[in-house]
Amino acid sequence: MKAVYLAGPEVFFPDVAEVAERLKAACAAAGLLGLFPTDAERPTGAGVSLARAIYLGNVALIERSAAVIADISPFRGAGMDPGTAWEIGFAIARGLPVFAWSLDLRPYAERVGPASPGPRGQVDADGLQIEDFGLVENLMIAESVRAIDATFEAALGRCAKHLLGASTAQA
């Protein structure tokens, strides 16, 4: 069974175990093996050593995967979770297809907040230019993923079709 890494900020949710099981069950129903970040060997330690163990575990899961399905919903601000952004970049560098989804499909520039005119377009409260290409997320993310869907299920279906072919994908 082909494995897919399930990237996203869900690891920070209070009900992370239930969310992980729901996403992995949906993958199984589609004929794929969902690998959630918490599936890595249970790390021990604290502080920097714990962070390193989590990092290595997640890298190993991505390396086992045939694709990545990434939740790029806004997280703690206008943009996506930075860890998920790194995982997308790592997957792309390894030649893996990435299928994204977001609960907020508004253009990134619209989510940034109050803007005012600047010398090269709209600027934020700090006077920094707001990237405005009409994309859901920063252009380096939006242009590297195969698609950005509105739901996990839609991204999973697209991923299953890509990996398993139209006739065998069950999602």
Query: Residue 158 in contact with residue 99, Cβ under 8 Å?
Result: yes
Average pLDDT, the chain: 95
**Amino acid identity at 133:** F
Is 125 part of a structural domain of the chain? no
Q: Give CA–CA dist 18/45, Å, rounded.
A: 25
| pLDDT band for position 114 (cuts 50, 70, 90) | confident
Bridge partners (DSSP) of residue 69 are 6, 99
Is 169 part of a structural domain of the chain? no
Structure tokens at 113: 């907040």
In degrees to the nearest 10, what's the CA dihedral of 166, 137, 70, 67? 50
pTM of the model: 0.93
Is 41 part of a structural domain of the chain? yes
| pLDDT band for position 87 (cuts 50, 70, 90) | very high
Structure confidence by residue, pLDDT tens digits, 4-51: 999 999 999 999 999 999 999 999 999 999 999 999 988 788 999 999
| CA 87-71-93 angle, 5° bins | 25
Structure tokens at 44: 């021990």
Domain that holds residue 102: 3-106+138-164
**Amino acid identity at 91:** A
- The CATH number of whichever domain residue 43 belongs to comes to 3.40.50.450
Structure confidence by residue, pLDDT tens digits, 149-165: 999 999 999 999 999 99
- Ramachandran class of 22: left when φ > 0, alpha when ψ lies in -120 to 50, beta otherwise: alpha
Q: Give CA–CA dist 111/123, Å, rounded.
A: 13
Beta-carbon-side half-sphere exposure of residue 52 (alpha carbons within 13 Å): 5
Number of domains in the chain: 1
